[in-house]
Structure 1
Amino acid sequence: MYLRRINVLILFCSLGVLGISCDRSQQFSEPLPKVVDFNFHVKPILVQNCYLCHGPDPSSRKAELRLDTYEGATAALKEGGHAIVPGKTSKSNLVQRIYNEDPGQIMPPPETNLKLTEREKALLNKWIDQGAQWKEHWSFISPETKMDLEDPNAIDFLIGKQMEVKGLEKVSIANKNSLIRRVSYLLTGLPPNPKEVQKFIADTTKVAYNKMVDVYLNSPAFGERWARHWMDLVRYAETKGHEFDYTITGAWKYRDYLIRAFNEDVPYDQILKEHIAGDLLENTRENKETGVSESSLGTTFYVMGEGTHSPVDVRQDEADRIDNMIDVTTKTFQGLTVSCAKCHDHKFDPITAADYYALYGVMESTRFSPVPADVGKDKKLAAKELVDLKTYMRKLVASKWSTAKNSAENAELAQNTAVATTNKNYTLIGDFRGSDFDGWTSDGFAFGQRSTLGDPIVDPATGKLLGLQDGKASSKAMGMGIFGALRSPNMVLDKDFIGVRALGQNSSIRIIIDNFQLIQNPIYGGMDQRVNTGNWNNFVFNVAAWKGRKAYIEIIPGGYDRHIYNLPEDAYIEAQYAIAYDGEWPADMENGISLEQVNDNWATLDISPYKVKMLNEDLKKGKLPLNFPEFKPVVDSSQQLANRLKTDSFFNGIYDGYGIDSPIFNRGNYKEPSEEYIPRRFLSVLSLGDSVFKSEGSGRMELAEVMLNKDNPLTSRVMVNRIWHHLFGRGIVETVDNFGLQGKLPSHPELLDYLAVKFQNDGWSIKSMIRAIVTSETFKRSTLRNDLLANKDPNNIYLASFPVRRLEAEAIRDGILVVTESLDSTMYGPPVATYLTEFMQGRGRPGKSGPLDGEGRRSIYLEVRRNFLEPMMTTFDRPIPFSTFGSRNVTNVPSQSLILMNDPLVEQQAEIMAGKLLEKGLVSFEEKVQWIYIQAFSRLATSEELEKASNFFDMLRTMEGKADASDNQELALWKEYCHSIFNLKEFIYLI
C-alpha cells in the first residue's frame, strides 16, 4: 500500500495535476529564519514526525526510505524520484507529500495522529530550497563565536536577541534585598548575613553589586556549595550500600579536595585531568597549606560506585562496576550516554559498541588500592634520600671488598652445581630472589623498586656489618609500617592453586579476581590471607573455582578490617616467590631460582644470589671486613627518613595496571565475547587525533588529553552549561547530562558557544565564568512576570525574567541553621554521623546515632550512608547516589510540608531561634518581628505582614492549652511563630 502511494504520487507529479502552488510564502507570528539550520529547525521536525517510519530503526522503516541520514534522504527511491533534491523543491517528493491534502497521500499519514504546522512545512520547503544542507549533530561541531570575549554585555545581547525573535520584553531589575539573597544563596548556599545586607543597600556606587558578588565568590562557603553540585555528578557517598553498607575509606577527603579546588578556582582542565588520571600526573598540584599532593585525590570518584560483597558471578560484577564508571565518566565530562552502547551500537547517537568496549578496556586496566593521603614533596624527597643512603652503603661495602673476591668467585661453581628445576606442574609468577621484581609493579614507598639482594645488614646500635641480605621483596626495604604494594602482572588462572612464600606481621596477601576488592566470606574470604609469622611460610590460595578468570596477586603491609585499610606501625611483609600449581607444593622450588645472570657489578653490588651466599660465608669466617664506622650515622639518618615516610591516613584510589584491550560482549554478555579485541581509545565520532592509546598502562592519561583536545566540542560546552543550570535552575541545554541526539536542543545556541569559547579563553576559570553570568543584567532581573510573558513563554525559557526557583535540600537545612545562628562554619574533616530515626533500620545500621543537628555543621559534612540516607535531604530531592545527576528533580509533594512542620530538627531550631530572639533585648513586638524577617528573608516586614504576625499571636493566645503551663509561654509563642516562618514559600524559594 505504501509503495503504491509513492507510485501514484510520482505519476501525478509528472502529469502536473496535483495543482500545488509553488508560492508558499506565508506570514507567521514568529518569522522564518533567514537561513534555515538543519540541526535547530529541520531535524526536530523530522525526529518528531518522520523518524517513526523513516528513522534509524530498520524494523519499523517503511518504503526503504531513511530520513535520518543525508545519503538515505537524497537516495533514489525504489519506484523513482527522490524524497529530497537539494535546491529543488519542485522535484522533492517530501515537499509534495507534506502539502498534499489527499488523506491517502499526505505525510505524515493521518493514522499516526501527527500533523505538521504550516510553519513547519514552510521551514522544510525553505531548507530544501536553500540547498538542504545537512549537518552532523550540533554538539559534535566545535563551538565558535563572533562575539567579543571581553564584552561585558555579550550575554545580555545574545539573550535579548532571542527575546526579540519571540516577541518578549524584559522585566525590571530586582530590588537590592532580592539580589543579595539570590547571589548569596546561589554562590554559597547560605542566606546573607544581615550586616552584609545593610552594607550592600547602603552602598550606592555603581560598583556596589560587583563588589558584593566578589565577596561571595571569595567566601569559603563558595567551595562548599559548588563542591556539592559536583558531588551529584560522581554519585558521592561514604559507604558502598548493598547489605552491610561498608565504609569507603577516605571518601570525605575527596569531598574536602573538591571544596579546596573550587575555592582556589583550580582551572577546570586541571580538575578534569586530576579526576581521569591524577595518579599519573608528573607535576602534581600541591595543597597550599600542607604541601601534600592533591592530584591523586581526584581519582576517588572512580570508586564511589555501589559495591556488592560476595557476588556469585564476580565477572558480571566487574562488568557492572565498569559500566557504572563509563556511564559516570562520560556523562560528567562529555554529556553523553555512552553506556547505551553496551549491548549494541547506540540506538540514537553515533556511538558504537566498539567505542564502549574501547573505554571498557581503559577502566579494566585500572587497579583499585588504598592510597596515602599525605604524600607530598617532603615524603618524595625522603624516599629519594633513603634510596641514596642505601646506595651509598652498598658502594662503601663494594669499595672495601673490591680486593676480597677470591672466595666469592667460587660462587660460579656453586651456581653450576645447582639442581635444575624439572617439575612441570607449576608456573613461576614472580621470583624476587634475584635483583629485580620480575615484572611486578611496586606502588608507594615500602618495597622500593628492586629486591633486597645484596643489601647490607647492619646492627643499628653499633653500625657493624652483619652480612648481606638474600634476595626477596621486602616492605622493610624502607622501614616498617610504611605503605606500599607489590602487584603481579595480570594472569589467567589455569592452575588449582596460587602459592606465595612469605613472612611478616600484620600484613596481607590478596588474590584480586576480576578487579574485585570487597573480599570476604562466604565466597571470597580465602582470597585474603593475613601474614603473621617470622618464619618463611607457604601461603596457599585455592583458585580452582575461578579457572579462566583474570587475576593478579597483591602483597601489602597492613590489611583490611571490614574493608577499611589499616597499617600498623610494626607491619611488614617479605616474599621470595609466587607460583601457580596443581597438586602439591613443588618440592624443588628452592632450586628453581633464575641462574642466568652471573656477571657482577661490584660498583653497585648487583650480584647473583649464590655469590651473596658465598660472601656471607666468607664474612662468618672473617675473610672480609665487618667494621664500617661510617654506617652508624647512616643508619640513624635512615631511620629518621623512614619515619617521615609513615602515614596513617588513606583514601580509596587507583593505580595504573597493565593495559587490557577488551572484546565486544554480544548483547552485553561477557560470556559471549567477540574474537576481535578493541584497542583502547576515545569515541570515534569525535575523531580527535590518533585515536588508539599508546600507553602500556590503562590509557587514562591519553583519555584526559583527548577530552581536553582543543577540537573537542563537548568538554567546555558541557561544563558552562552546568554552571548556567546551577545559576538559573535550567541549563541552556535542559538535558545537562545528555548532549546527544535524544537530548534537548540548546535554547540559546549562540550563547552556549560564546560561553564555551570564553571559558577556554579565560583559562578554564570557573569563578570567572560565574562572575560573568551573575553580573549580567539577565541574572539581575526580577522574578515578576506579566500575562504576556506567561502566555508567550510559560516556562521562562528565554529569561525575560529571573526564574522563581526552590532551594535545594542542603540550602534549606543550612539556611535554617544560619537564621537561628546555630551554624558551625568549621570546614573539612570526617563526616558527622547520620542521625538515625527509629524508622531507619536494617543491615549495616550504625551502632550509634549522630546528633540531631549534625553538630551544627553544613549539610555537605553530614555522612552520606547509602542504606541510611538523611530523610530531609531525600524528601527535598537530593539524588540517591547511584549515577550522574546533573539536574535534580524539583518536586512538590506533601511530605515536604510535613518535614517542615514536624521534623524534630526544624522544631528544635525554631525553639533556638525564639530563644535567641528573646536574648536580644528587643522591646517592641514590631522590633522582634523585623529581626526575624531580616534573618529569614533579608528584608523588613511590610505593614501587612506585621499585621498578620499580630493576628497570628492573638490566635495562639486564644487557643486553649496551646502553651504548656510548665513552659515559658513567651518562648513557646515565639517558637511557633519562628516555626511558621520556616514554612513560608519565601523561605525555601528565591523569589
Structure 2
Amino acid sequence: MFSWKLGRLPLAFLALVGALLAFAVGCGSGGKESEVGLPEVVDFNFHIKPILVQKCYLCHGPDPSSREADLRLDLFDGATAKLERGKQAIVPGKPGKSYLLERITHHDSELRMPPAATNQEVTAEEVALIRKWIAQGAEYTPHWAFVGPDASKLERFATLTPTQAIDSLVGESIRQKGLAIAAKADKNALIRRLSYVLTGLPPNPEEVEAFLEDDAIYAYEKLVDRYLEAPSFGERWARHWMDVVRYAETRGHEFDYAIQGAWRYRDYLIRAFNEDVPYDQFIREQLAGDLMESPRFHAEARTNESVLGTLFYTLGEGTHSPVDTRKDESDRIDNMIDVTSKAFQALTVACAKCHDHKFDPIPTADYYALYGIMEGTRFSPQPANQLEMRNVSLREAQKLQAHIRQQFASSWESAQGKQVPVQLTNLHTVDEVVEGGVKVLGDFRGQDFGGWKSDGMAFGSKTTLGNPVLTEDRKALQKLDEGMASSRYFGLGKFGVLRSPDFVIDAKYVGVKARGSLGTVRVVMDNFQLIQYPIYGGMSQLVQSGDWKELVFDVGQWKGHKAYLEVMPGRFQSHNYVQGHQDFVEVQYAISFDNSWQEPSLKHTEGTPPMGTIIKNWVGYRSSPHEIEHLNHWIAQGKERRTVEGLEKMARQWADLTDQVKDTVFFSGVTEGYRTESPVFIRGSHTDLSPDKVPRRFMPGITGSKPVFGDAGSGRLEMVDALLGSENPLTSRVMVNRIWHHLFGRGIVETVDNFGLQGKLPSHPELLDYLALVFVEQGWSVKELIRAIVMTETFQRDYQPEEMARKLDPENIFLASYPVRRLEAEAIRDGMLRVAGNLREESFGKPVPVHLTGFMQGRGRPGSSGPLDGDGRRSIYIEVRRNFINHLLQTFDFPTPFTSFGKRDVTNVPAQSLMLMNDPFVVRQSEVWALRVLAAGDSTLAQRIDRLYWEAFSRKPTAEELQVGIDLIRGWGVRQGMISDLDLLGDNGLWSSYCHSLFNLKEFIYLM
C-alpha cells in the first residue's frame, strides 16, 4: 500500500501539477467547444435549464433575496433585459452578442462565471449547448410537465401494440446512448421477479416447476394473467397507494387515538385494484365518493364502495388538545392539500402557503383557493354498510308518506265543509334576534331546517311538523306531530347528522333545546374534531332525557372563532362514533345569548286561512305550526277524521321500508359542508388575513381547466372535474409514472411526487407521454397498463448489464438490463412467512394488533401486544399505529405516515443486518420453516439443501453453494457430536440455524 504525503513531494513536481491543473481548468471552461454529439434541437428544459439551475440560479434565479446584478436567468424577459452599459445576457439568435457566453468563457478567472468560490464551472460541452441554443433562438419552452402530451408526435407507434411501442421507445434511447442490451433473464429469475413485483410474494415451488416445464409460447403471458388475477395483486398494489396517502390507523400525537374504520379504506383499496376500477373513477371516489349520483356498489354485498374512498381525507394526524384551534385547522388542511396535490398531480402545492411558489407557477392564491375547498368539507362519521337499496327504501318511504297525507286530505276535504273552523291566532316565523340579545341559530318548530344540512337518513329532509302519529295498533291517527328535528324521522336505528351553517361566536353562550334517549350535541370550532377535556370537553354534551332540556355551552373565551353546531343520535367514545338501535335525539331550536336563556317566540298575526288552504298546505309540506295546531283541534272533534281506508296496511308498508335500514358500524369519512372561500394567510399566518377572499379554483395556470364552482357545497366535485379534465397535463402522467416506478424500482420521472421545476427530468419523455395517452385510451385501466409493461422485453431482461452499458450508464437509467432492487419491508416479511409455510392467505378484515417490544413505550401504548408473527397475516393487515410501527418493517424503510411517500427510501444500514440476525420474528420463522422441511422426508443433505434453495430463491443451488451448505451442516454437527447424516437430517436446531442463514443472504431480500 502506498501512502502519499504532500509534504514529501518535490517542489518542482508540485509546480508542474499546479500548472497542469490550471491548464485543465482553462480548457474546461474557456477552450473551444465542439458541437460533436450535440442534439439536433437543443431544448431549454432538458438541456439548458439543468445547467442554469446548477450553476447560475443561486445568484440569478427566482429567489430575489439572493439575486445579484439584477439579472434573472429563469425567465425569458429577465434573461433578455438590458443590463448596465446596454448589454444583454442573452440575445436570441446571436450568441456572439450574448453577454452570458462572454462571461462563462472569460479567460480571466476573476471575471469568469460562475465565481470560483462556488466550486462550479461550465464545461466545454455545456458552453456548446448554450451557444447552439441561443443560435436557435433561445426559446424558453414551458416546463415539460405543464404541457400536455402531443399525440401527433407519437403517430409512428399507431400500428404497434403498447408492449411493442414501449420496447421501441426504450430501445431508441439505448441506441442513442450506444449501449448494449442484456440477454433475456432465465425463467427462474423471471417468475421470481414477476411474482414479487405483481403480488409482493415469492412464487411457491409448484408454480416455479409448472412454469419451467411449460414450453408453450404463451407460458409467460399465462403467468402474467394469473398473477394479475390473484387476490394478492390487490394487496400488493393497495400498499403502494397507502404510502401515497400516508395511511395509518391512528392519529399519532400524544395518545395515538384510533381513526375509526381506517382499515375499511385498506380493504376498499385492495378490492379496487383487484377489480381494476378505472383510475378516473378511483380519483372521484376518494375525493368526492360521498357526492356521486351513481356510486359503485360491492358486487356481492351490494354496499356502497364509493363512499369508503373518502377516508382518504381523514387519514392524517390529529391533535387532541391544541391551544389554538385555528392553527390546528390550518395545519390539518395544509396536510390535506399537500397529500392531495402530490398524490394526483405530483406537485408541491403546500410550498405556496406562505408566498408564491418559488419555482412552479402556483401563486399563493391557488393554495388558498384549495384551502376553501377543504375548509368547506365536513368530517363526519359515515355508515360503513350503506346498502344499495338504502336510498330506494328512503324514496319509497317518502312516496308512501306523501300518499298517506293525500288519502287523509281527500277524506278531510270531503268532510270539512260540514264543520265550522275553530278560530286561532295565526303564527309566523321567528325573528332572527329576539329580546335580550338572544340570536336564533336554528328553529325547527316550522316545516324545514332553515339552512341547516341533514346528512344521512335519520333526520330526513324536513322537520316532523305535521307528520301523522298513529295509535299503537296503527289503525287510527292519534295526532299530527309538532315541529322538531328528530332522528326518528324514519324510525330508530338510522344514522344522521344535522349541522348548522358556520357562524362566528359573538356571545358568551350557545344554547340548544333537546331531548332523547341518547344523542350528542357539539359546538365544533374551526373544524376541530377531537373534542375532549381539559380544554374543549364542554363543547360536547350528551342528551339522555325524554324531557326537553336546555343545553348550555360556555363559548365566551372563543369569541371571534368560526363554529357550527352538530346534532346526532349516539355518542363518541375515544373519538369513535357509536350508535345503539334505540338511540335518538330531537331538537327544537338553537340560540346564542349573553345573559339569560330566552325561548324564541313566534310572532302573531290575526286571522286563520280557510280549512281547504290549511289541508293543501299540509299535503304540500308547507304548514305553519299554527295550521297544524288548528288541524289537530279539528281532528280531535270527529272520530271519522282519524282514519282512512287501508291505513293499517300502509303503516305496515312504512315499517317494512324503514326497518330495512339499520346502521350499526361506522367509519370516519367526510360529507358536504357549505361554500367557503378563504382569505390569504399573510406569510402563512392564520392570525394575519388578507381583506379579500379567494374564489375556489384548482390551479388553472397548470391544469388549464376552469370549471365553474357552484354556489353551494365545498367544491370537491368541481375539483375532481379539473383533475380529470382533458386539458390537465399531469393526472395520467403521474399515475403511469407511479406504476413504472413500482415495476422497475425507478420512475421515468425519478421524483415521483414532484413533477415541478425542482423535480427530476423524465429519462424517457416520449415514453411517459405515450403511456399517459394509452392509459386514458384504454379506460384508465391499471391492470392493462401493467400487463403491457411486464410483457415487454425491457421488463424481461437479465440483471447483469453488458460491460459497455455498465460504464456508460452505471445507474441503469436507460434500462439496458433489469435493475437490481431491494424488496420492500413488507415483501421481506411476507416472503419469510410464505417460505416458512406460515402465511395465512386470507383477505380483508380488522387489523392484527402490532406486536410490541419492550422498547415501544409511551402514552397511547396499546394495553396488549399482538402476536409475534402477526397471526400469520400479510404485512398489509398488521395495524399501522403512528406511534408504534412494527420494528422490522421500520428498519427496512417502511415510511412514517405523515405525508406522501410515493418513493420510499432504500437504505443499507447495520441495523438491517442485526434485525435479520436477531429479530424474534425472523428467528421464529426460521424455526417454523425447519420444522416443516424436517417432515418432508429428505434422505440426503443435498436433497434437503436443494429443497430449501428452491423454496427460498426459486432455483436450485449451484454446485459450490451445495457443497458449502453440506460442509456447514456437517461442521455444525461435529461440534455437537453428530457424525451421521441421518442424525443431521433430524436435528431441528441445526436446520433452524441453516434456514436462518438463508434468510440472511442478500438474494433473499433483493431481486438480483
> What TM-score does the superposition give when structure 1 sets the normalisation length?
0.94
Whole-angstrom CA distance in 2 between matches of 1:664 and 1:420: 31
Unaligned runs of at least 5 residues, structure 2: 1-27
Residue 872 to residue 422, structure 1, CA distance change in 2 (3 Å): closer
SS at match of 1:360: helix
Please name the residue that 2:898 is paired with.
Answer: 882
Q: Is the 8 Å Cα contact of residues 423 and 608 (structure 2) preserved in structure 1?
A: no
Whole-angstrom CA distance in 1 between matches of 2:935 and 2:412: 84
Whole-angstrom CA distance in 1 between matches of 2:391 and 2:285: 19
Which of 970, 977, 985 aligns to 2:987? It is 970
Q: Is the 8 Å Cα contact of residues 398 and 605 (structure 1) preserved in structure 2?
A: no
Q: For 1:4-403, what aligned pairs fall within 5 Å after superposition? A: 26=34, 28=36, 31-144=37-150, 145-146=153-154, 147-148=156-157, 150-151=160-161, 152-402=163-413, 403=415
SS at match of 1:103: coil
Q: Is the 8 Å Cα contact of residues 433 and 593 (structure 1) preserved in structure 2?
A: no
Please name the residue that 1:658 is paired with.
Answer: 674
Q: Are residue 637 (structure 1) and residue 653 (structure 2) matched?
A: yes
Whole-angstrom CA distance in 1 between matches of 2:559 and 2:984: 72
Amino acid at match of 1:212: L
Amino acid at match of 2:71: L
Which deviates more from structure 2 when the two are superposed, residues 559-568 or residues 842-851?
842-851
Q: Is the 8 Å Cα contact of residues 30 and 105 (structure 2) preserved in structure 1?
A: no
Amino acid at match of 2:235: E
Whole-angstrom CA distance in 2 between matches of 1:608 and 1:437: 13
Residue by residue, what CA displacement relative to the aligned partner does 1:262-300 show, whole Å, maximum 9, x if unpaired?
001111111111111111111111111111111111111
SS at match of 1:882: coil
Residue by residue, what CA displacement relative to the aligned partner does 1:833-891 show, whole Å, maximum 9, x if unpaired?
11112221211111121111111111101111111111011011010100000000011
Q: For 1:333-732, what aligned pairs fall within 5 Å after superposition? A: 333-402=344-413, 403-404=415-416, 409-410=421-422, 412-415=424-427, 422-586=434-598, 588-591=599-602, 600=614, 601-604=617-620, 606-622=622-638, 625-628=641-644, 630-686=646-702, 688-690=704-706, 693-732=709-748
Shift of 1:155: 1.4
Q: Is the 8 Å Cα contact of residues 430 and 603 (structure 2) preserved in structure 1?
A: no
Which deviates more from structure 2 when the two are superposed, residues 874-883 or residues 971-980?
971-980
Whole-angstrom CA distance in 2 between matches of 1:593 and 1:377: 46
SS at match of 1:404: helix
Residue 768 to residue 594, structure 1, CA distance change in 2 (3 Å): farther
SS at match of 1:442: strand
Which deviates more from structure 2 when the two are superposed, residues 287-296 or residues 631-640?
631-640
Residue 418 to residue 260, structure 1, CA distance change in 2 (3 Å): closer
Whole-angstrom CA distance in 2 between matches of 1:962 and 1:859: 39
Q: Is the 8 Å Cα contact of residues 492 and 548 (structure 1) preserved in structure 2?
A: yes
Residue 170 to residue 580, structure 1, CA distance change in 2 (3 Å): same
Whole-angstrom CA distance in 2 between matches of 1:539 and 1:595: 34
Shift of 1:593: 9.2
Amino acid at match of 2:951: Q
Residue by residue, what CA displacement relative to the aligned partner does 1:613-659 show, whole Å, maximum 9, x if unpaired?
23223334446622345222222222222221112121111011101
Residue 842 to residue 25, structure 1, CA distance change in 2 (3 Å): closer
Q: Are residue 985 (structure 1) and residue 1002 (structure 2) matched?
A: yes
Whole-angstrom CA distance in 1 between matches of 2:991 and 2:260: 44
Shift of 1:791: 2.3
Whole-angstrom CA distance in 2 between matches of 1:539 and 1:685: 49
Whole-angstrom CA distance in 2 between matches of 1:236 and 1:420: 45
Amino acid at match of 1:204: D
Please name the residue that 1:911 is paired with.
Answer: 927
Whole-angstrom CA distance in 1 between matches of 2:265 and 2:296: 14
Whole-angstrom CA distance in 1 between matches of 2:342 and 2:602: 54
Shift of 1:100: 2.1
Shift of 1:546: 1.2
Q: Is the 8 Å Cα contact of residues 395 and 604 (structure 1) preserved in structure 2?
A: no
Whole-angstrom CA distance in 2 between matches of 1:958 and 1:60: 72
Shift of 1:969: 6.4
Residue by residue, what CA displacement relative to the aligned partner does 1:561-602 show, whole Å, maximum 9, x if unpaired?
11111010001111111111111101x525469999966325
Which deviates more from structure 2 when the two are superposed, residues 40-49 or residues 138-147?
138-147
Q: Is the 8 Å Cα contact of residues 425 and 606 (structure 2) preserved in structure 1?
A: no
Whole-angstrom CA distance in 1 between matches of 2:35 and 2:857: 65
Q: For 1:885-904, what aligned pairs fall within 5 Å after superposition? A: 885-904=901-920
Q: Is the 8 Å Cα contact of residues 250 and 651 (structure 1) preserved in structure 2?
A: yes
Amino acid at match of 2:844: Y
Residue 527 to residue 658, structure 1, CA distance change in 2 (3 Å): same
Shift of 1:785: 2.9
Shift of 1:367: 0.2
Whole-angstrom CA distance in 2 between matches of 1:295 and 1:408: 56
Residue 415 to residue 345, structure 1, CA distance change in 2 (3 Å): closer
Residue 597 to residue 899, structure 1, CA distance change in 2 (3 Å): farther
Amino acid at match of 2:970: D
SS at match of 1:737: coil
Residue 691 to residue 207, structure 1, CA distance change in 2 (3 Å): same
Shift of 1:409: 4.7
Residue 452 to residue 113, structure 1, CA distance change in 2 (3 Å): same
Q: Are residue 870 (structure 1) and residue 886 (structure 2) matched?
A: yes
Q: Is the 8 Å Cα contact of residues 409 and 611 (structure 1) preserved in structure 2?
A: no
Residue 170 to residue 631, structure 1, CA distance change in 2 (3 Å): same
Residue 631 to residue 926, structure 1, CA distance change in 2 (3 Å): same
Percent identity over paired residues: 53
Shift of 1:103: 2.0
Shift of 1:143: 1.3
Please name the residue that 1:12 is paired with.
Answer: none
Amino acid at match of 1:163: I
Residue by residue, what CA displacement relative to the aligned partner does 1:819-846 show, whole Å, maximum 9, x if unpaired?
1111111101111111112221211111
SS at match of 2:538: helix
Whole-angstrom CA distance in 1 between matches of 2:728 and 2:110: 47
Whole-angstrom CA distance in 1 between matches of 2:517 and 2:118: 74
Unaligned runs of at least 5 residues, structure 1: 1-19
Please name the residue that 1:954 is paired with.
Answer: 970
Whole-angstrom CA distance in 2 between matches of 1:612 and 1:522: 45
Whole-angstrom CA distance in 1 between matches of 2:833 and 2:552: 56
Whole-angstrom CA distance in 1 between matches of 2:448 and 2:842: 49
Whole-angstrom CA distance in 1 between matches of 2:326 and 2:600: 32
Please name the residue that 2:17 is paired with.
Answer: none
CA RMSD of aligned residues (A): 2.5
Please name the residue that 2:833 is paired with.
Answer: 817
Whole-angstrom CA distance in 1 between matches of 2:606 and 2:463: 16
Please name the residue that 1:8 is paired with.
Answer: none
Whole-angstrom CA distance in 1 between matches of 2:814 and 2:643: 85
Whole-angstrom CA distance in 2 between matches of 1:967 and 1:539: 77
Whole-angstrom CA distance in 1 between matches of 2:104 and 2:432: 86
**Total equivalences in the alignment:** 969
Whole-angstrom CA distance in 1 between matches of 2:510 and 2:788: 60
